[in-house]
Structure 1
Amino acid sequence: MEIRHSTNPSDAKKYDTAQLRHHYLIEELFVDGQIKMVYSHEDRLIVGGAKPTDEALALEAQETLKTDFFLERREIGFFNIGSSIAVITVDGEAYELGKLDTLYVGKGAKDVRLASKDAAAPAKIYFTSALAHSTFPTRKVSVEEANTLHLGSLESSNERTIHQIIHENGVQSCQLMLGVTLFKPGSVWNTMPMHVHDRRMEAYLYFNLGEDARVFHMMGEPDETRHIVVANEQAVISPAWSVHSGAGTSSYAFVWAMAGENYTFKDMDAVPMSTLR
């Protein structure tokens, strides 16, 4: 488990490209036969990816978390970004996840194992885990069952579909929120106009990008923005003080996840275009 400490906006203003990428970009999450995890001190969110091959992979991190099992004091959301079927077993009960399916697992589940239904075609399982002080039931949900919003337009290059999955009016959790945004062909801008929500951090996983395509992820304080160039299946940690927006060289998709003080999706502070620098 890699550890990423919290950062201060005053310090971030001085970061060069390498430092920005070191603090906020997660470059490799899906490695054959492994679980990769990053522990962020931004609201103590864990961002991870798994690509199970021949054997099921146990979700473990005792040395980092100092608990008897991973979900002793945590909850987690799994999201299958690939076309192959993922099999997640929670305390002996197996759940199959197709592409864009989500599995929420609440605090207290002891034995969690990640596998691919077909080892020759490994699944790609993305997950985020937040601290939890109450327990909610395990639940699988397809993207069709999500609360769906159609926003933007082709004229403004941001015609997109937002699927809210783990949130206040969907799959219930303690503080974790998760969903996916899919762009229509010809649209490339996400989260524009920009906003911040100082009461919670956010993590983005960008996917459905071609090998030569990139997303220019915007971050920083509204009047002191920076950018990070992101490739397919890479993730970005966004502190609560930072804007989080992006534009791609082609259409793409991203999984967004949040944790922190407030559990209301609409809790955000809009940033006027005239403020951006």
Structure 2
Amino acid sequence: MKCYYSTHPEDYQGYDTQKLRDNYLIESLFCYGEVRQFYCYDDRLIVAGVCPQGTSLSLVAGKALGGLTFFSRREAAAVNLGADGVIRVGDEVFSLAYREALYVGKGEHDVSFESVEPSNPAKFYVCSAPSHHPYPVRHIGRSDVKKIHLGDPDTANERIIHQYIHPDVCPSSQLALGLTDLINASNWNTMPCHTHSRRMEAYFYFFEQDDTRVFHFMGKPNETRHLVIANEQVVISPSWSIHSGVGTRRYSFIWAMAGENQEFGDMDFIKTEDMR
């Protein structure tokens, strides 16, 4: 499990492009027949790509979790971005179609991932955070999510936010997760941008055309940098950093947060004229 360590905002000012990518970008998440896991020291978030083919796959606890099983003190949410898949939690079996999700609370249960057709595999994007309270397993279909329409065509940031793991949809200990679609001709995922010092965030970008790129802006508002993102890559966004992006074509992304609270409106907006 590769680890991504926390960085001080003053340290990152001296990073060149490659060091920015090494410290904040997960470039290769999915591999057929494998589990790929990444441990973020910012709020102890784990990001994983699970792509089962002929055999079932399970998340690996490893040394980073102190010898415990994966869900002993953790919760997780998995979103299927491939063909039909199955997640087994103990004796329960959950079928997940495209863009459906499953929440699994902490507990001593075995969890495994499968594809319905190995030749057309499921692709599970998984985010996990520490948990101190067991919440029940919950399947979240596309009709179960809470949808919020934000933005405006004049500012090129019109979008639909689909809240999957949120107090109004699915109770969790601290994890929050949703999926955002840019609509019409919009290409900014948020602008004006913001920070939320009580929560870190991970951004998973995905889109249809291979030559599409997203320019993800990060850093302190007065000391910004950017990363150029390809399909199915993840940006780790520390709580002190802005997180805003613009794409060469329409794209979608999954945001996941962990930290001190789950208040969707708990953010500090940055005036565009104050950015540097």
TM-score bucket of the superposed structures, by smaller chain = over 0.9
Question: Could you say which residue in structure 1 is the equivalent of 2:47?
Answer: 47
C-alpha contact (below 8 Å) 1:187/1:250 kept by paired residues: no
1:215-230 counterparts in 2 under 5 A? 215-230=214-229
**Counterpart code for 1:240:** S
Q: How far did residue 152 of structure 1 move?
A: 1.6
Question: Could you say which residue in structure 2 is the equivalent of 1:8?
Answer: 8
Give per-residue Cα distances to partners, 1:116-138, cap 9 Å, x unaligned: 01101011100100000111000
Question: Could you say which residue in structure 1 is the equivalent of 2:18?
Answer: 18
Aligned-CA RMSD value:
1.0
**Which stretch shifts more, 260-269 or 173-182?**
260-269
Give per-residue Cα distances to partners, 1:234-268, cap 9 Å, x unaligned: 00000000000000000000000000011211110
Q: How far did residue 216 of structure 1 move?
A: 0.1
1:99 aligns with 2:98: yes
Separation (CA, whole Å) in 2 of partners of 1:142 and 1:171: 11
C-alpha contact (below 8 Å) 1:222/1:276 kept by paired residues: yes
- Give the 4+ runs in structure 1 shifted more than 3 A: none
Question: Could you say which residue in structure 2 is the equivalent of 1:164?
Answer: 163
Q: How far did residue 156 of structure 1 move?
A: 2.0
Structure 1 unpaired stretches of 5+: none
Question: Could you say which residue in structure 1 is the equivalent of 2:189?
Answer: 190
Question: Could you say which residue in structure 2 is the equivalent of 1:204?
Answer: 203
Q: How far did residue 78 of structure 1 move?
A: 0.3
**Counterpart code for 1:65:** L
C-alpha contact (below 8 Å) 2:186/2:250 kept by paired residues: yes
Question: How many residues get paired?
Answer: 276
TM-score by length of 2: 0.98
Question: Could you say which residue in structure 2 is the equivalent of 1:32?
Answer: 32
**Which stretch shifts more, 60-69 or 125-134?**
60-69
Question: Could you say which residue in structure 1 is the equivalent of 2:124?
Answer: 125
**Counterpart code for 2:203:** Y
Identity over aligned pairs, percent: 48
Instruction: Report the secondary structure of 1:155's partner residue.
Output: helix
Structure 2 unpaired stretches of 5+: none
Give per-residue Cα distances to partners, 1:17-38, cap 9 Å, x unaligned: 0000000000011101000010
Separation (CA, whole Å) in 1 of partners of 2:172 and 2:113: 21
Separation (CA, whole Å) in 2 of partners of 1:8 and 1:215: 25
**Counterpart code for 2:7:** T
Q: How far did residue 60 of structure 1 move?
A: 1.9
Separation (CA, whole Å) in 1 of partners of 2:104 and 2:122: 19
